[in-house]
Chains A and B, each alone.
Chain A
Amino acid sequence: MTQDVHIQITDRDGILHDVQAPTDMALNLMEVVRLFELAPEGTIGVCGGMAMCASCQCYVQSSHELNEKLSEEDAMLSEAFNVKPTSRLSCQIQISLNLEGLKVELAPED
């Protein structure tokens, strides 16, 4: 049996959710947010997860070692609003065992 990882996600209303994300479904963090309905449909993952919109932007609050930003993500973030040094597009973060305890906050909707 594969393991789940605990992820703490603060939604756009400031409410903290502790969710268990499965690691065997090839999910990314944006899909986890949708799976647990932590943001209304249509306000997150608008492009489907291609790093072509910034609707899934989040701020990483823990010190986990994440996969490097690809140029597409980096460029998209350069056009997004409310960007901080900790900003990532959650669709580009793949859920894996090393993300146990990850803490993120969803960026505001534009």
Chain B
Amino acid sequence: MITTDILIIGAGPTGLFTVFEAGLLKLKCHLIDALPHPGGQCSEIYPKKPIYDIPAYPEILAGDLTDKLLEQSKQFEPGFTLGERAETIEKLADGSFIVTTNKGTQHKAPIVAIAGGLGSFEPRKPSIKHLRSFEDKGVAYIIKDPEVYRGQKVVIAGGGDSALDWAIFLSEVASEVTLIHRRNEFRGALDSVEKVQELKDRGLIKLITPAEVTAVFGDSKLEAIEVTKSGESPLRIETDNFIPLFGLSPKLGPIADWGLEIEKNAIKVNNALDYQTNIPGVFAIGDVNTYPGKLKLILCGFHEATLMCQAAYKIINPGKRYVLKYTTVSGIDGFDGTRKEAPKVIVKSID
């Protein structure tokens, strides 16, 4: 069981900044995210795109914003449960919560902060007959551990960065890699496209374009796929694995069943005070919440996270008074023993 003060669901910009604000109040955080890395949408959808409305940054790439937020909160030593989706929530008699992921990892905290953005990113699955019955039996939509493909035959479908990057990576691991895409053109970064071209020329990646996987075959596990090139008769390819990589789409998912008030796919919160939901102790911050006048902006998420931490402090330390401290005045004491502070002013007289 992982225990913490504030359990944050969602490791996007709002969730990551919560770690910093909570740290200033000596509260420890742990984050759960369905993606295998922190950053949320900023890392998953548009890491190379610029953002122009982060205060004090005239321009910052979404991926760089994630890196900066991680660096800013580092001394508060956040814990991470990545690649797992928060599935259930249970309230204990002492008022604290247990949140369990789809992998069975349990987390206990007095405060839960849902910073889930548009929801957890779920892979988009192509509609191929019987595809779902081969899931985890040769069919996967996300590659978590590339080692499981060592020495095996792999077919990848898709035309974006993840299809290209995994085809490149697995060409050194798998015994055979076939990449199938509906077009001759690929959407990925130029150097990835060039690398695939080179590996294709060296015979290390088999490329089939423009084509689509139209059927999957097997008994207890996947044995072959059928690929159809436009205007040609289908071709059967023996393979151990089929990995369709058609991107991810966000789904609010199991959180929708937690008894929270939901409106327009977002969680209703009390914005007059602290962004608490209808369940005391459970907050919703960032793009996942809604209230009159709500704007889905990263900078609004930062503000909401800051106020939420104040409310969390009062719940965790009942009756205790709080005085706002400025970081410039008080410095920052990390949980890792580090201290940051403004340099002392030297008072020197002039003769």
Contacts and interface: CB of A to CB of B under 8 A. Distances in A.
A76 B127 CA distance: 18
A39 B86 CA distance: 26
Contacts of B266: 41-42
A110 to B, nearest CB: 5
Nearest to A40: B265
28 contacts: A41-B265, A42-B119, A42-B252, A42-B264, A42-B266, A46-B118, A50-B45, A50-B49, A52-B45, A52-B46, A53-B249, A71-B185, A72-B187, A74-B185, A75-B159, A75-B183, A75-B187, A76-B187, A78-B182, A78-B183, A78-B187, A79-B158, A79-B182, A79-B187, A79-B246, A81-B126, A110-B124, A110-B249
Contact of B247 (A43, A74, A79): A79
A16 interface: no
Interface string A37-76: 0001111001100101101000000000000000110111
Interface residues of B, number: 26
A78 B45 contact: no
A75 B264 contact: no
Contacts of A40: 264-265
Contact of B124 (A41, A52, A81): A81
A28 to B, nearest CB: 17
Contact of A79 (B41, B119, B160): B160
A46 B247 CA distance: 12
Contacts of B185: 71, 74-75, 78
Nearest to A43: B265
A57 to B, nearest CB: 12
B95 interface: no
Contacts, number: 58
B250 interface: yes
Interface of A (DSSP majority class) = loop
Interface residues of A, number: 19
B250 A78 contact: no
Contacts of B45: 46-47, 50, 52-53
A41 B159 contact: no
A81 B246 contact: yes
**Which one of A55, A78, A81 has the highest number of Cβ atoms from chain B below 10 Å of its Cβ?**
A78
Given A79-B187, A79-B246, 11 more contacts: A42-B118, A46-B45, A47-B45, A47-B46, A50-B49, A75-B159, A75-B187, A78-B181, A78-B182, A81-B124, A81-B126
A49 B45 CA distance: 12
Given A78-B183, A79-B158, A79-B187, A46 B249 contact: yes
B249 A55 contact: yes
Interface string B119-148: 100001011000000000000000000000
Interface in B30-57: 41, 45-46, 49
B124 to A, nearest CB: 5
A57 B225 CA distance: 28
Nearest to B122: A110
